[in-house]
Amino acid sequence: MNPRVESVTPTDKYSLILTFTNGEVGIYDCSPLLDFGVFKELQDTAYFKQARAAGGTVVWPHEQDICPDTLYLESKKENAKERV
């Protein structure tokens, strides 16, 4: 099983900065989702920024969520040492 989301910080550019349970940090670009179904609501940046970590993934108030495996496998991983 892939690591799960421990914390999330949404950005102004529809990306999520994710910290996973194994300590890795990744950036997931949500912009490709914004034109599809329930994710259209995320186009509102104020709403997008209401993202929170819950149950090992990222969720929004109106029950949008993204598969935690997708978040881990498709996020661009950062080197924690580079962030310091």
pLDDT tens digits, residue range 36-59?
Answer: 999 999 999 999 999 999 999 999
Residue 31 and residue 14 in contact, taking contact as beta carbons nearer than 8 Å: yes
pTM listed for this prediction: 0.90
5-77 CATH fold: NE0471 N-terminal domain-like (3.30.2020)
| Ramachandran angles phi, psi of 13, nearest 5° | -105, 30
Q: How far is CA 2 from CA 39, 54, 63, in A?
A: 24, 16, 22
Give the per-residue pLDDT at 32.
97
Residue 63 tokens read as 């029950």
pLDDT in tens, the chain (84 residues): 899 999 999 999 999 999 999 999 999 999 999 999 999 999 999 999 999 999 999 999 999 999 999 999 999 998 644 443
pLDDT at 53: 98
Q: Are 71 and 24 in contact (CB under 8 A)?
A: no
Q: Domain residue spans in the chain?
A: 5-77
